[in-house]
Amino acid sequence: MYFAGVDIGSTMTKVVLMDKAGNLLSFIKGPTGAEHRQLANEVMRQALEQARLQIDDISYIVATGYGRLNVPFADRQITELSCHARGVSSLFPDARTAIDIGGQDAKCMKIQDGRLVSFVMNDKCAAGTGRFLEVTAATLAIKLEDMGEISLKATENIQISNLCTIFAQQEVVALLSRGEKLENILAGLHDALASRVAALARRLGIERDLVLTGGVAKNIGMVKAMKESLGCEVLVPEEPLLTGALGAAILAKETYMKAVRAGEVLPTKSRRLEKATFFSQEYR
């Protein structure tokens, strides 16, 4: 008996496969890419290959993330907020607050008894998201994955006052032309992003333990800036991108086992790994 969680984010698609005992069999990340939301089948195929499973072996599949509505082989859709909360609490049983900073949004979640109880998300704007760092990395012609390391070498505090991604870019250009050092500018950018996300989290109320997830959690400079902005310890899972898919797999398992215990048969979708098209599946 196997379960799967598929998390289709704005930037990355993630799949987690799990057995009945909750052991992770495989996990895989692939870019959501230009064929937005259509490559879930490809990422799923790779995950199955790694785990040496067939799609028919999977008892129940939960899809989450912005692309959750268009996974033809998923049996149930659950929002990424519930999935992240579940995934985080399975890794950190004492977690009460989770902050996920993805490519397109930032979300703060309150967790109680392993479940989502309340949440806030950023508004429809790239400020306060991973995109903010992506755009400025491109402006500065450095690699996204190097940003954090470089920022740690900062010797001065620079305030980046504008949090709008486009205007912050202009501010960065102005700072460069003033001769400011790259590492100081990067540290300023991380602080700006962290203060915005921390303000979002404060609206919800911060309780420890606090866990940071999402692609941005892989950035060491960002983790440092978040600790400073929040004024508390920040825990980061080993694979911060996967908590959504992990939570989805756990919720798939829980949904299925609950039905088994109740003697119910859950309806499942056809186990054909087909490419999703925008209107391929009526979402229920």
Partner 1 sequence: MSDKNKGLNKAREIYLDSSRRAKELKAADKKIIGYPCVYVPVEMLTALDLVPYRTCADMKEPVTEADRALPHSFCPVMRNCLDCALKGKNDFLDGMVAIHSCDPQEKTARIWESYTHYPYFHFIDMPITVRPEALEYFKGQLNDFRKTLEAFTGKKLSADKLEAAIKSHNQQRALVRELYELTKPSPPHVSGTEIVQVVKALTSLPVAEGNNLLTETIGEVKKRAARPEKKSARLLIWSSTLDDTDIMQALEAKANVVMNESCGGVRAYRGEVKLTADRLEGLADYYLNEITCARTFRQAALGETRKDYGRDLQSRFGYLKGAIKDWKINGVVMLLVRYCDPFAFEMPSLKDYLNSIGVPSTYIEYDYTTGALAPMRTRVEAFIETISQ
Write down the least CB distance from residue 66 to partner 1, Å.
Answer: 6
Considering the complex, state which of residue 110 and residue 224 has its C-beta at the smaller distance from partner 1.
110
**Residue type at position 57:** D
Pair of tokens at residue 186: 């990067």
CA 19 from chain center: how many Å? 22
Write down the least CB distance from residue 39 to partner 1, Å.
Answer: 18
CA atoms within 13 A on the CB side of 75: 21
Write down the least CB distance from residue 55 to partner 1, Å.
Answer: 26
Can you tell me the distance from the alpha carbon of 203 to that of 226, in angstroms, rounded to the nearest whole number? 16
Strand order through the sheet with 115-121: 115-121, 106-112, 97-101, 210-213
Sites for partner 1 among residues 173-192 (CB under 8 A): none
Give the per-residue contact string, 112-131, with partner 1 (x = CB under 8 A; - = no).
Answer: ---xxxxx-x-xx-------
The answer to the question of residue 27 lying near partner 1 (CB under 8 A) is: no
- Is the previous residue joined to 191 through a cis bond, with omega within 30 degrees of 0? no
Considering the complex, state which of residue 82 and residue 136 has its C-beta at the smaller distance from partner 1.
82
Cβ–Cβ < 8 Å for 130, 32: no
Sites for partner 1 among residues 72-91 (CB under 8 A): 78-82
Can you tell me the distance from the alpha carbon of 119 to that of 49, in angstroms, rounded to the nearest whole number? 36
Write down the least CB distance from residue 79 to partner 1, Å.
Answer: 4
Give the per-residue contact string, 96-115, with partner 1 (x = CB under 8 A; - = no).
Answer: ---------x---------x
The answer to the question of residue 283 lying near partner 1 (CB under 8 A) is: yes
| 66, 92, 132, 256: residue in contact with partner 1 (rule CB under 8 A) | 66
Sign for the pseudo-dihedral over CA of 111, 69, 259, 90: negative
Site residues (vs partner 1, CB under 8 A): 66, 78-82, 105, 115-119, 121, 123-124, 283
